């Protein structure tokens, strides 16, 4: 259940970035914090667990490419639909990690 009201400014920045992660790509919690230049992986995780239901949450993973605990099967389903590069049951961070730069459409 989503909390009542609007997310605080930091949460809005996290959610905005998550919405921009392209299909088939992922960012780790730490990648997001580093990109934003504030917070850390735990703060990003807190935002995602509290407010992340309305964004492509399956594109946010642990640094080793594993999905959020309890969401493994749903992540795998979404990753397969989006053709996210995988290594077994985790995202292939070398191939799937997004650095925040605009994707080439060529």
Report the chain's mean pLDDT, rounded to a whole number: 93
Separation between Cα atoms, residue 77 and residue 21, nearest integer Å? 17
Does residue 35 sit within a domain? Answer: yes
Does residue 104 sit within a domain? Answer: no
Task: Look up the pTM and report it.
Answer: 0.91
CATH of the domain at 43: 1.10.10.10
Does residue 75 sit within a domain? Answer: yes
Range of the domain at 88: 9-94
Exposed e or buried b per residue across 76-104, where buried means at least 16 C-beta atoms within 10 angstroms of its C-beta? bebbeebebbeeeebbebeebbbeeeeee
Does residue 101 sit within a domain? Answer: no
pLDDT in tens, 30-76: 999 999 999 999 999 999 999 999 999 999 999 999 999 999 999 99
In the chain, how many domains are there?
Answer: 1
Does residue 100 sit within a domain? Answer: no
């Amino acid at each position: 259940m989503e909390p009542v009201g609007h997310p605080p400014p930091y949460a809005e920045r996290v959610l905005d970035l998550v919405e921009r992660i392209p299909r088939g790509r992922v960012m780790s919690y730490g990648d997001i914090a580093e990109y934003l230049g504030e917070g850390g992986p735990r703060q990003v995780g807190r935002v995602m667990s509290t407010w992340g239901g309305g964004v492509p949450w399956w594109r946010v993973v642990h640094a080793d490419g594993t999905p959020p605990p309890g969401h493994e099967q749903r992540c795998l389903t979404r990753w397969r639909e989006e053709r996210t590069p995988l290594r077994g049951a985790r995202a292939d961070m070398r191939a799937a990690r997004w650095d925040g730069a605009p994707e080439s459409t060529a």
